[in-house]
Amino acid sequence: MVSTGQAAGMLEENATPTLIGEAYGIKSKQLQYREFHYYSRSGEEHRVVYKDPDDQVIAEKTLRYTDALSEPAVEQKNTLCGEYIKVNQFENGDRLRIVYRSEKGKRTREKAINRPDNLVIDAGFNFHVRTKWDELVAGKTVKFNYLAPSRSRTYAFKAEATECQREGEVNCFAIAPDVWYLNIALDPILLTYSADSHELLAFSGLGNIADKNCDYMAVDIQYRYPKQTL
């Protein structure tokens, strides 16, 4: 398995991001940050750099897809408030190790939990949607367990096709908690994909980047795919 430090070095060799996202506040409509996604040539390592409108780095994340694509190992550092997240699986694959700090100066806690079936971690939701594409476009509900590192536990979620607000050849899906008490408190996350390439084009909802007050930002993210020079 490649360490986080090694992964960052590997990914720096490819200076052109595979994917760029621009995140706007859902209420303010103002640009909050940009995210730049870099993948290693093997596709196993994925690094994301988040920058504010002044081009200052506000967060960095490394994902390692060495297990199921929907269950990457994750390490994320947020410089705005000092949040830290690290998630990986034990060697036998039946347990998850979660390390979490809510903000700078707070105690870092570590917890091991049982790994549930149909698990989705962080950006693994994108692979999960594509894996279940035919079921979703056919109108079926896809259920899974989503990891919330800040709570050190998983929650039951569901994904369903929904009406698109964007014109063109696109498919849209809504992701929401599959338990009533969370469904009341959280708005669904809305995802827009290209109908042909199945590439993610837009994300709308509560993101995974915290502001300087350590509150997760509700954002509309528009994605584009720069041409790669390999």
Structure tokens at 98: 């979660």
Strand partners, 202: 192, 222
Tokens for 194, please give them: 């290209």
What tens-digit pLDDT sequence spans the chain (230 residues)?
233 333 344 455 446 899 999 999 999 999 999 999 999 888 889 999 999 999 999 999 999 998 788 999 999 999 999 999 999 988 677 899 999 999 999 999 999 999 999 999 999 999 999 999 999 999 999 999 999 999 999 999 999 999 998 888 999 999 999 986 665 557 899 999 999 999 999 999 999 999 999 999 999 999 999 865 43
Residues paired with 20 in a beta bridge: 36, 224
| Separation of alpha carbons 3 and 104, rounded Å | 24
Q: What is the DSSP string of 73-138?
A: EEEEEETTT--EEEEEE-TTSSEEEEEEESSTTSPPEEEEEEPPSSEE-TTHHHHHHHHTHHHHHT
